[in-house]
């Protein structure tokens, strides 16, 4: 549903978009990328001023400078020698090779008591499907009809689990023909589904069973800002429940991808990101679960290429805000059952 989400009317009464912060965020690089000739690392207030003065980062910078001067064929040959993936455009291969040397140096540094570079134990990918019309009127309220989650282990770099539930819409219980054709979700599927508050309780239980936010540090990841700032925000209002605390901050992978590979936002659609990374879409487009799995594949490739995915957006009082790369890195809080607004 990623391309269709972009056509949703921007000025919704339930969501106030912060364009100023959004524009400012576009210029910021992905935090804690290895220092090189292209970008310097971003420090958070919780870091000491000498974090990046460690000799290991100077060695990484020298290696990155050499990689920046390599041709595409030289990059491919070197990646093949190291038995690394040779797919993708030149900038992707550069990041991959830099990541390899960075990991080697940091592993060596960690064994000697030096710095390491990790943020979360798990990343939870979410990509909602919602009710829609072919030409969404400005006053149309999108209701979530599929709630999928795909769980990434950042240590093993694998998809380790998934969750999926369909949701019964209340405001517009009859799905449009366009919505059925786009998402593959039938009227029978939603008629037999639970209402959103009950589904959200199942989501919370699923997260709790995996000890996320308690034993393990985790973050939510989405393909764009719409899922959390618009769809979930509207749905919670319609269902008369409070917006869940664990979903108030998330990683917008489009921002992370654009900043890390240094490409314009026009090249951060799901299909384009897959293509540039040398990957093909697997499954049915606009299936929430399949979209989430493919977004997870992009996230895994980015982690393999050395991007330190971190929270970059949040919602506050219904307003979408950017999280600066200088902010302290925090995992999502432990999930709890939704509370009523009444």
27 three-class SS: coil
CB 124 within 8 A of CB 102: no
Q: Give the angle 55-57-62 at the CA atoms, nearest 5°.
A: 100
The helix, strand and coil proportions of the chain, stated in percent and rounded to the nearest 5, come to: 40, 15, 45
CB 308 within 8 A of CB 30: yes
The total number of residues shown for the chain amounts to 342
| Chain position carrying tokens 């390491």 | 116
Contacts 24+ apart (CB under 8 A), 83-86: 85/278, 85/304
- Examine the residue annotation and report whether 286 is marked as an active-site residue of this protein: yes
Tokens of residue 268, six digits: 């951060």
Contacts 24+ apart (CB under 8 A), 174-177: 175/131, 175/145, 176/131, 176/132, 176/133, 176/134
- Examine the residue annotation and report whether 9 is marked as an active-site residue of this protein: no
Tokens of residue 286, six digits: 């606009």
Closest residue by Cα to residue 32 from 15, 18, 21, 47: 47
Q: Find the catalytic residue in 25, 129, 143, 313.
A: 129
According to DSSP, residue 341 is labeled -
Give me the half-sphere count of Cα atoms (radius 13 Å) on the Cβ side of residue 37.
9
| Chain position carrying tokens 């310097």 | 40
Tokens of residue 332, six digits: 């999502």
Distance set, CA 39 to CA 29, 124, 282, 307 (Å): 7, 28, 33, 13
| Alpha-carbon 29 to chain mean position | 16
Q: Find the catalytic residue in 143, 146, 286, 313.
A: 286
- 90-111 and 253-261 are packed helices; what angle lies between their axes, rounded to 10 degrees? 90
Residues noted as catalytic: 129, 286
């Amino acid at each position: 549903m990623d391309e269709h989400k972009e056509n949703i009317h921007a000025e919704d009464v339930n969501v106030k978009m912060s364009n100023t912060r959004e524009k400012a965020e576009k210029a910021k690089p992905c935090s804690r990328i290895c220092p090189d000739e292209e970008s310097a690392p971003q420090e958070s207030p919780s870091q000491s001023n000498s974090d990046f003065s460690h000799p290991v980062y100077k060695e990484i910078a020298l290696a990155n400078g050499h990689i920046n001067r390599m041709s595409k064929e030289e990059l491919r040959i070197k990646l093949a020698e190291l038995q690394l993936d040779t797919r993708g455009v030149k900038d992707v291969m550069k990041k991959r090779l830099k990541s390899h040397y960075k990991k080697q140096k940091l592993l060596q540094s960690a064994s000697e008591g030096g710095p390491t570079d990790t943020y979360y134990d798990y990343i939870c990918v979410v990509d909602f499907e919602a009710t829609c019309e072919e030409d969404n009127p400005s006053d149309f309220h999108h209701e979530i009809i599929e709630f999928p989650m795909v769980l990434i282990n950042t240590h093993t770099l694998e998809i380790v689990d998934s969750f999926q539930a369909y949701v019964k819409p209340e405001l517009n219980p009859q799905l449009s023909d366009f919505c059925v054709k786009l998402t593959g979700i039938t009227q029978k599927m939603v008629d037999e589904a639970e209402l959103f508050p009950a589904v959200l309780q199942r989501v919370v239980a699923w997260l709790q069973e995996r000890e996320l936010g308690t034993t393990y540090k985790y973050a939510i990841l989405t393909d764009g800002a719409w899922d959390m700032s618009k769809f979930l925000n509207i749905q919670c209002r319609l269902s008369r429940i409070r917006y869940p605390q664990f979903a108030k901050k998330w990683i917008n992978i489009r921002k992370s991808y654009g900043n890390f590979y240094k490409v314009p936002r026009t090249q951060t659609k799901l299909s384009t990101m897959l293509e540039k990374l040398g990957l093909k879409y697997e499954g049915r487009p606009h299936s929430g679960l399949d979209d989430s799995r493919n977004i997870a594949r992009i996230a895994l490739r980015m982690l393999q290429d050395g991007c330190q995915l971190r929270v970059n957006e949040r919602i506050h009082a219904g307003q979408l805000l950017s999280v600066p790369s200088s902010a302290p890195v925090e995992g999502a809080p432990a999930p709890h059952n939704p509370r009523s607004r009444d």
